[in-house]
């Protein structure tokens, strides 16, 4: 059982949590899991982009990220702007 399954099990079987709140907690936990998955995906996408940009910079013997690369990277990170 992974940590997420353990948390869901604890919510569903807890006698300290009123039944009407269990569904709310379960829904909230699922929402948080989805948000975290999106953050992980965007972070991995940004990491891959940076790695690719640096490989290209090494290949073309340029230094660092170009302005265009930085704009692209910011666009990737904006995918998870928080309200």
Cα 43 from Cα 50, distance rounded (Å): 11
Q: Which residue has the higher pLDDT, 14 or 63?
A: 14
Average pLDDT estimate for 54-72: 77
pLDDT the model gives residue 26:
92
Give tens-digit pLDDT for 34-45: 999 999 999 999
- The rounded radius of gyration (Å) of the Cα atoms in the chain is 20
Cα 38 from Cα 65, distance rounded (Å): 25
Cα 45 from Cα 10, distance rounded (Å): 33
Average pLDDT estimate for 36-60: 86
């Amino acid at each position: 059982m992974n940590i997420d399954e353990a948390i869901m099990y604890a919510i569903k079987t807890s006698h300290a949590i009123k039944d009407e709140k269990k569904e709310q907690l379960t829904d909230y936990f699922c929402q948080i899991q989805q948000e975290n998955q999106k953050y992980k995906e965007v972070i991995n996408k940004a990491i891959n982009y940076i790695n690719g940009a640096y490989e290209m910079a090494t290949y073309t013997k340029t230094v660092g990220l170009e302005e265009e690369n930085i704009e692209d990277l910011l666009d990737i990170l904006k995918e998870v702007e928080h309200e």
